[in-house]
Amino acid sequence: MRPTREDRWLSAWLLVTLAVAFALIGVNAATRRFTGICYFPREFTPLIFAALSSVATGLWVREREPRKAFVLVDAGYYALVMIASAALVTGIQYTPFAPIDAALARWDAALGYDTVAVLAWVAAHPVLRFVLNRLYESTDLLLVLAPLPALRRQDRRVMRVYLHAVVYTFLAGSLFYYFFPSSGPASVFNSPHFLPVQRATYMKFLQVHAFLPVTTLLGGMIAFPSFHVAWSALVTYAARPYRGLFRAAVVWNALVIVSTVLLGWHYVVDVPAGLLLAALGLWAGDIAHERLAAI
């Protein structure tokens, strides 16, 4: 069976994401020649072929076994989204623009938020700090598990809107970072309570732009808008097929969002920016699915 128009639309956006990634890598190679690293480990290369095979097999059996095809096609697309995202992260690390962290810190100060004082308070409560760290670290696993409820329930609407939203938010947020980079509070404030992995986030930025070898993959990259916040919102949306799971996801991801600020990974202003990014992604995804699925 031929891909539907929505399949082709998703494929086109994946190609756009890859094109932008390689364009940014090419611009750097032709101009600044900053150092950097590949955010897609070679060990994961077989995943590319597995994802493409999953989509192709699903399309092949779609008419005969639609339920199996739904899982194969959409799970394959989701894996391809993650692969394209890794390529885009590799490209945006070469941003030639100055960080906006000082401005973000001033906005937080204008709101009366003292990052250093909050970090000290959290550090004085080791159990709380441990729980917050586990909450923050859970996002990667939640991203892997997020599509499972919709895939199990064969909820095409939720799955496709989620897929669209992930593509749109990652592309938009990453391009914002390229022109307005930010590395998080650890790049601005001096506190013994920042974790080494938090310092690694801005150290990678410094190494890239000082033409030094990048020594670690650890840490994040984008502070504003917060992708942890955006992903938490998208994961919560993906849990909608199950009422009980959705309620749990709301509570859990609300705590994840709180952890991003209390642990010093993000500025306060990163939170509404992340929520807005997710909301716009879901809105655009809903429109795309409505229009494309009806054809």
Distance CA 106, CA 118 (A): 16
Give yes or no for a contact between 122 and 128, defined as CB atoms under 8 angstroms apart.
yes
The number of beta carbons lying within 10 Å of the beta carbon of residue 199 is 16
> What burial class does residue 270 get, using C-beta atoms within 10 Å of its C-beta: 0-12 exposed, 13-18 middle, 19+ buried?
buried
Tokens 């799971």 found at: 245
| pLDDT tens digits, one per residue of 103-159 | 999 999 999 999 999 999 999 999 999 999 999 999 989 998 999 999 989 999 999
Average pLDDT taken over every residue of the chain: 92
Give yes or no for a contact between 281 and 165, defined as CB atoms under 8 angstroms apart.
yes
Binning pLDDT at 50, 70 and 90, where does residue 272 land?
very high
What single letter denotes the amino acid at residue 196? Answer: P
Distance CA 86, CA 259 (A): 24
Flag whether pLDDT at 210 surpasses 70: yes
pLDDT-wise least confident of 171-180, 185-194, 199-208, 213-222: 213-222
Distance CA 80, CA 49 (A): 10
What single letter denotes the amino acid at residue 260? Answer: T
DSSP letters spanning 131-194: HHHHHHHHHHHHHHHTTHHHHHHT-HHHHHHHHHHHHHHHHHHHHHHHHS----GGGT---TTS
Binning pLDDT at 50, 70 and 90, where does residue 242 land?
confident
Flag whether pLDDT at 283 surpasses 80: yes
Quote the DSSP letter at residue 264.
Answer: T
**Confidence (pLDDT) at 175:** 96
Flag whether pLDDT at 64 surpasses 90: no
**Confidence (pLDDT) at 217:** 78
Q: Which long-range contacts (CB under 8 A, 24 or more apart) does 104-111 make?
A: 104/182, 104/188, 104/223, 104/224, 104/267, 104/269, 104/270, 105/185, 105/188, 105/189, 105/267, 107/267, 107/268, 107/269, 108/267, 108/268, 108/269, 111/268, 111/269
Mean pLDDT of 162-171: 96
Domain count, the chain: 1
**Confidence (pLDDT) at 295:** 53
What single letter denotes the amino acid at residue 25? Answer: I
Mean pLDDT of 205-222: 88
pLDDT-wise least confident of 197-201, 214-218, 223-227, 258-262: 214-218
**Confidence (pLDDT) at 42:** 78
**Confidence (pLDDT) at 1:** 66
Residue-range definition of the domain harbouring residue 100: 5-293
**Confidence (pLDDT) at 71:** 93
